[in-house]
Structure 1
Amino acid sequence: MKTTGNTILITGGGSGIGRELALRFNELGNKVVVAGRRIDALEETVAGRHDMHAMVLDVGDPQAIRAFAERVVAEHPDLNVLINNAGIMRREDLTRSRDLSDSEQTIVANLLGPIRLTNALTDHLAGQPDAAIVNVSSGLAFVPLSATPTYNATKAALHSYTVSLREQLKGKIEIIELVPPAVQTELTPGQSTRDGYMPLGDFIDEVMALFHEESTPKEILVERVDFLRWAERDGHFDQAVEMLSTH
């Protein structure tokens, strides 16, 4: 993926990883459109920046996604990169029957949202030079954190979907998976200051260095996430599951 001269759409661009990716790519000479549910957070991201734009999008609403896709292509016809970053993470107690709204909302936001938005933009992106789609999954796609079962499942599904997407779009759109470890963001309450989580700035520094490699890796893996990504291959999967469950 080229790192400058793009027009990039980033979902979940009002905070955390999405916001920092937006700022870094903009600094490299890319036009960046940040999308999300909260216009105030999006406007804070783009404030004072050249070639940054904010657009409201609820990835949980399929009709809104279709309308958004039409609008973003009309307003930014040179759009050639999509970064599916928006997502939610909820703790769930599986030891008793419960209301499943958290599970259902997580599946819609984390899995159906990226699938629907990618589908709405595939035809346009396939006709653009240097087109790329970046799906943000998680180290928990490979080793689940038992307290967040549906989150883990959606990220595992997104990983699998990304592999299929890469094969089907080979030669048309470059498909990249970004796999964060536990990073200090506001994905969950208090996470931005939680000990043992990777500082957001350090994470983005390492990610951008990987994007700058001569041939962009199909999986963007910072060193901190290797323990989870390769747990099964390296024979410490059960140990990793137990470690996360007692963390």
Structure 2
Amino acid sequence: MELHGKLALVTGGSDGIGREIALQLQAAGAEVVVTGRSPEKLAGMRALGFETIAGDLSEPAGIDAVVAGVAGRPLALLVNNAGVGSDYELDEPATLDSAAQCIRTNLDAPIALCTRLLPILRAQPAAAIVNVTSGLAIAPRAGGSIYCATKAGLRAYTQAIRHLLRDSNVAVIEALPPVVETNMTAGRAGKKMSAHDCAAEIVRGIRTGKREVNAGAVKLLQLVNSVSPALARRIMIKY
């Protein structure tokens, strides 16, 4: 997909992977709108020349604000990147609120935005949807059950709508990051991919028309999974 002159929307675009995607799309000549929840981070993006939309995508009002912000405009690229973790504990009913917020942000919101913005995307000569899932959509880890479930659900949804849109002008791309150095993973040890490098692989995938972008270590996970899904699950469940 040629990015120069295209209007792109990046959810969760004021921090982490989303911020890097937005910066690299901007460098490629795209006009980029970013969404986020932090007024300070959104102000920082405006200072860099981005249009911003404030909104919590776990709430209907946040989704409405995003849709209204691009209504009537030639949106050609939707990047569903916004995501949150969950404090869910299996034996703690009090953590169900955190689980629900994770589900609404990571799964419900991308589905809503794909559905509501599809007419605009269809109206363009060429368009693309990028749903950012995770290597954990392939095989889950026990310590992040709700997060893994949302990403696995988004992976299944992405594969299904890709088939439904196979004869249209709208390409559907899934991006699967590994563990990336972001605020969400700040407390985790081990090797992490930089947000810049992860975003570079995703943007390269958009430009070259990949259906699936396996970033960093996810390439190895996909290889293991192709040989033995059971082995991939055994490795990742304790990761």
Specify if TM > 0.5. yes
1:197 — aligned with what?
192
1:200 offset after TM fit, Å? Answer: 2.0
Structure 1 position 151 matched with structure 2 position 147: yes
Instruction: Judge conservation of contact 1:143–1:231 (CA < 8 Å) in 2.
Output: no
1:125 offset after TM fit, Å? Answer: 1.3
When residues 80 and 212 of structure 1 are mapped into structure 2, their CA distance, relative to the original with a 3 A threshold, is closer
1:157 offset after TM fit, Å? Answer: 0.6
Instruction: Judge conservation of contact 1:33–1:53 (CA < 8 Å) in 2.
Output: yes
Match of 2:93, SS state, is coil
Taking the aligned partners of 2:137 and 2:87, their CA distance within structure 1 comes to 16
- Give unmatched runs, 5+ long, in structure 1: none
2:25 — aligned with what?
25
Taking the aligned partners of 2:66 and 2:196, their CA distance within structure 1 comes to 30
2:219 — aligned with what?
226
Count of residue pairs brought into register by the alignment: 237
1:90 — aligned with what?
86
Instruction: State how 1:7-156 maps to structure 2 within 5 Å.
Output: 7-49=7-49, 52-74=50-72, 77-94=73-90, 96-99=91-94, 100-156=96-152
Task: Give percent identity, aligned residues only.
Answer: 34
Instruction: State how 1:205-244 maps to structure 2 within 5 Å.
Output: 205-213=200-208, 216-235=209-228, 237-244=229-236
Residue identity in the other structure for 1:203: C
Query: With structure 1 as the length reference, what TM-score do the two structures score?
Result: 0.88
- Give unmatched runs, 5+ long, in structure 2: none
1:173 — aligned with what?
170
1:210 offset after TM fit, Å? Answer: 3.2
Match of 1:80, SS state, is strand
Instruction: Judge conservation of contact 1:62–1:116 (CA < 8 Å) in 2.
Output: no
Which structure's residues are more often helix, by fraction? 2
Q: Which deviations, in whole Å up to 9, do the C-alpha atoms of 1:6-47 show, x marking residues without a partner?
A: 100000011000000000000111000001112221221231
Q: Which deviations, in whole Å up to 9, do the C-alpha atoms of 1:165-223 show, x marking residues without a partner?
A: 111122131111111111111124435xx43111222223333333343xx11001124
1:66 offset after TM fit, Å? Answer: 2.8
Taking the aligned partners of 1:224 and 1:232, their CA distance within structure 2 comes to 13
Two-structure CA RMSD over aligned residues (Å): 1.9
